[in-house]
Amino acid sequence: MKRLLFFILLVAALATGRAATIGDLFVSETYGIFNTLTPTMRVVLLNHYRDGDTTRVANNLSPNGSRIVTLDEHHITVETSVAARVQLTLLTQGRDSVVMAVETVLTPYPDSRVSFYDTQWKPRLASRHFKMPAMADFLQPQASKDVKRRLAASLDFAMIEVEVTGDTLVARHHLDKTMDRNDYASLAQYLRRELRYTIKGTKITPSR
């Protein structure tokens, strides 16, 4: 009965134009970010979390597939499987509201994609809100052109993990695990381990 009531209230809230919470947006997402979780499964997850239960709940792929890790009015972290994580953050600036989605594949090494949507789940141009770092952005300012060349030559592909905590977004590389050990040892002194960004309104900019 509790789950049915929650779903009815959610539909009513969206229909009457009440400002959506991140829980509302999690349930209403239709773009395919949560394609292993039906809206009913998402309501079940929300109710489990609000009851203090963070155990995994079956999804369309696995009987022990998903769980909510954190939830507040503006942010939700969902482990959609043991190998994937999605974070939704509701960004607001005046009357403008934007949903930031950070989708991370956790294995073999974390790799993230960041995208943006309006509250009706229509895509927004990411460059209006955030510039995803490239691997070269992790280099210290004193790195020479030769160091930059060696870094580029050593990479078959770049994997960058993005994680949101409060009003901070952190981007991390895992070159110590993905590069040749000798190549990494020769470049490590020129590399920053992470890049930090500040979330303010609907913009995410490098922290000073």
Residue 11: predicted pLDDT = 52
Residue 19: predicted pLDDT = 64
Q: How confident is the model at residue 46 (pLDDT cuts 50, 70, 90)?
A: very high
DSSP 95: T
Query: What tokens were used for 13?
Result: 């809230």
pLDDT (average), residues 89-105: 96
Cα–Cα distance, 18 to 16 (Å, whole number): 6
Cα radius of gyration (the chain): 19
Residue 107: predicted pLDDT = 85
Element (H, E) at 195: strand 194-200
Runs of H (alpha helix) within the chain? 2-16, 22-28, 39-50, 145-154, 175-178, 181-187
Q: Is the pLDDT of residue 196 over 50?
A: yes
Q: Which of 100, 208, 114 is nearest to 161 (CA)?
A: 114
The total number of residues written for the chain in this structure: 208
pLDDT (average), residues 122-151: 95
Within 38-177, strands assigned E span: 67-71, 75-81, 84-93, 96-105, 111-117, 123-124, 160-165, 168-173
Cα–Cα distance, 62 to 100 (Å, whole number): 26
Q: In this structure, are strands 67-71 and 203-206 parallel, antiparallel, or unpaired? A: unpaired
Q: Is the pLDDT of residue 5 over 60?
A: no
**Sign of the torsion angle spanned by Cα atoms 2, 119, 96, 92:** positive
Cα–Cα distance, 61 to 130 (Å, whole number): 32
Q: Is the pLDDT of residue 30 over 70?
A: yes
Higher-pLDDT residue of 156 and 184 is 184
Residue 185: predicted pLDDT = 94
> Is residue 131 a contact partner of residue 160, using CB atoms and an 8 Å limit?
no
> Is residue 27 a contact partner of residue 34, using CB atoms and an 8 Å limit?
no
Residue 9: predicted pLDDT = 45
